[in-house]
Structure 1
Amino acid sequence: MTATYRGGELVAEIVRSGFAESLHRGSVAVTDPAGALVAAIGDADSPVFPRSSNKPMQALAMLRAGWEPDSEADLAIAAASHRGEPVHLARARSVLAHAGLGETHLQCPPDLPSDPTARNTVIAADGPEPRRVYMNCSGKHSGMLAACAAAGWDLATYREPDHPLQELITATVEELTGETVGAVGVDGCGAPVLAVSLRGIATAFSRLVEAPEGSPERRVADAMRANPILIDGTHGPDHRAMSAIPGLLAKGGAEGFHVLAVPGVGAAAVKIDDGAGRASMPVALRALTRIGGLAIPEAAKPEVESLYWPEILGGGKPVGRLRPLL
């Protein structure tokens, strides 16, 4: 991998009332089921921060550390970027409780739920005081703590890059991507974030969905696909896409990142240069269908079309769409 991400090409536009008012540039990597690169747009080989798109690999490392979740839903929340809805909070608390831990052990920042209904409910019931469990990465942090408890590792320093859990996560990411981590940063939740290429993370997601049934890799993929509402919430694009497309594994990340994979088809990874999350799912879906050859079932087409071409509102009514340019 080269040292610096070089940026991408024009991949999407915002059309309002027939006028293109905004443009998004980015990079795309599409791999086959074996993880071989079949197409690239922009820079598919330099390291970038996938942000929360790394979470499935982090959850895999938690299993490898000896964590045995009480349910596959608990495993799914460890790979989630949840919205603080009641079902999300229940699962994060379940992970902690079954490890003999509590919310006081969490080291993600305090926050309020990002889902508007959940936020209003919490404020009405408990007041506007942010709590760590409401933060969208609390499931991951709960899983990290549970893995440390299972392995007998120190709980107080679980976010440090030289902690045994974080070293295992790095090794797991490098194994699945086939790359050496290009950089280590601090994610929004305070845990380390590891830089890999779009090619590498697409390869990793293909390996998750193509792994033998019952293997730790496949357990992570299956738990996420069986519990899509936990991954990003009721109205989240990952929930909607995985519910509509059989076999799809989807995980978005901050700053315009998205990875999709389907067994027997391959994977698509997208980085939007300006960090706009609104463009990442449409471009990734378009790449996996137009380039990767994913066939959309007839019954799923209305939902997939709404993810391809998200509506732009004016006066509360649709007046345009985001349009992928692949």
Structure 2
Amino acid sequence: MESVLIKEYRAGIMECAHHGHICIVNDQGKIGASAGEPDFVTFTRSAAKPLQAIPGIRGGIISHYGFSEQEIAIMTASHLAQPVHVEVLESIMRKTGLTEKELVCAPSYPLSEDSKEDVLRHDGSKRRLFHNCSGKHLGVLAYCKMKGYPLEGYADPGHPVQKEIIETVAMMCGIEPQQISLGTDGCGFPVFALPLSAMAAAYLKLACPDLIEDEATREAVTTIAQAMNRYPEMVGGSGRVDSLILRDENIIAKGGFKGVYCFGLKKERLGIAFKVLDGSEEEWGWIVESILSQIDYSNKGLIEQIREAFTHDIYNDEGKHVGYAEAVFHLQDGAGS
């Protein structure tokens, strides 16, 4: 049964309750704490992007194309298409010789309101490069081009690159590839249905690559995590939870559409995944803050930064204080709900 994670109040009356599930795994492969159902199955959405980047990085695209850490970081991103993101994406295209028409993600406007207004003031055209998943697509296409795989159909589950991605995701999650159910993501890529416990296990390995047996994969994960920590604004952008908590080099984090969020803690050797069942993302900051507080995370300054960036106070359109939100879940030891 799901837990109530967040309650929102207006004029002292509860207006919304956001239900969901949380799973925390330790480096013994055990569920260390949870709320709701730790094995709840849901789609990874964009939380899988750091995992989807592994085959290309492991395969040698960095040295082959001369990619920078910023370019690596944006391959894991759900970016806002702010100018700094577009600049890095265009750099990838120059280095690889890839073009926007080869991307299967749909032409879009930037998610950043300021960037969208700039586009509308100029030619007003949507671009595939503005799609928040374009970095992932360019990274996978670069790998295909280097390997001599066909670029056409690169998003199909049967394509060699997607088969390698699925095998890699399964290995990071500690399951078999056939245990992964597939859907189609918003950007056209296969998307993975996994238990939260498997997602948490994968993020534990992203945070603690020493747990990965294969040396090449271990080195690729170390490289990806380092790039995400050094260039957190590439991973999300202004106002994103990911970009805030990635400033702490002890954390690897990435959210996905429809309320799924994952992060790993290096020193604590924990992998954490949660799902807000109504698909909302507004609660992420509150949930992350509460999880870190409940496990007595050592970086109190980060917890305070999250609290300031994602205030519990609710304001109306004119900036008047009208309510508040609070995290109401309590993590239980092990798999208890």
- Per the normalisation by structure 2, the TM-score is 0.88
Question: How many positions carry a matched residue from both structures?
Answer: 316
1:302: Cα distance to partner? 3.1
What residue in structure 1 maps to residue 189 of structure 2? 191
CA RMSD of aligned residues (A): 1.9
Alpha-carbon distance in structure 2 between the residues aligned to 1:37 and 1:287? 15
Alignment of 1:128-167 (within 5 A): 129-167=125-163
1:267: Cα distance to partner? 2.4
Structure 2: any 5+ residue segments left out of the alignment?
330-337
The percent of aligned pairs where both chains have the same amino acid is: 30
What residue in structure 2 maps to residue 226 of structure 1? 230
Equivalent of 1:318 in 286, 305, 321:
321
Does 2:305 correspond to 1:303? yes
Does 2:174 correspond to 1:178? yes
1:309: Cα distance to partner? 4.4
1:264: Cα distance to partner? 1.7
Alignment of 1:1-326 (within 5 A): 8-68=2-62, 70-127=67-124, 129-180=125-176, 181-212=179-210, 215-243=219-247, 245-265=248-268, 266-290=270-294, 292-298=295-301, 300-306=302-308, 309-314=311-316, 315-326=318-329
Alpha-carbon distance in structure 1 between the residues aligned to 2:173 and 2:288? 18
Alpha-carbon distance in structure 1 between the residues aligned to 2:160 and 2:309? 39
Q: Deviations over 1:215-251 (max 9, x none)?
A: 11111111111111111111211112223x3422111
User: Greater shift after overlay, 234-243 or 116-125?
Assistant: 234-243
1:186: Cα distance to partner? 0.5
Contact kept, 8 Å, 2:170 with 2:180, in 1: the verdict is: no
Alpha-carbon distance in structure 1 between the residues aligned to 2:200 and 2:230? 21
Alpha-carbon distance in structure 1 between the residues aligned to 2:58 and 2:99? 22
Sort the Cα spacing of 1:310 and 1:158 in 2 relative to 1 into closer, same or farther, 3 A. Answer: farther
- Per the normalisation by structure 1, the TM-score is 0.91
Alpha-carbon distance in structure 2 between the residues aligned to 1:226 and 1:178? 28
Amino acid at match of 2:145: A
1:174: Cα distance to partner? 0.4
Alpha-carbon distance in structure 2 between the residues aligned to 1:146 and 1:288? 37
Sort the Cα spacing of 1:301 and 1:186 in 2 relative to 1 into closer, same or farther, 3 A. Answer: closer
Sort the Cα spacing of 1:309 and 1:82 in 2 relative to 1 into closer, same or farther, 3 A. Answer: same
Alpha-carbon distance in structure 2 between the residues aligned to 1:196 and 1:239? 24
Alpha-carbon distance in structure 2 between the residues aligned to 1:122 and 1:59? 29
Amino acid at match of 1:203: A
User: Greater shift after overlay, 213-222 or 185-194?
Assistant: 213-222
Contact kept, 8 Å, 1:65 with 1:148, in 2: the verdict is: no
1:317: Cα distance to partner? 3.0
Alpha-carbon distance in structure 2 between the residues aligned to 1:284 and 1:192? 27
User: Greater shift after overlay, 65-74 or 53-62?
Assistant: 65-74
1:206: Cα distance to partner? 1.1
1:323: Cα distance to partner? 1.4
Contact kept, 8 Å, 1:34 with 1:206, in 2: the verdict is: no
Sort the Cα spacing of 1:97 and 1:324 in 2 relative to 1 into closer, same or farther, 3 A. Answer: same
Sort the Cα spacing of 1:293 and 1:150 in 2 relative to 1 into closer, same or farther, 3 A. Answer: farther
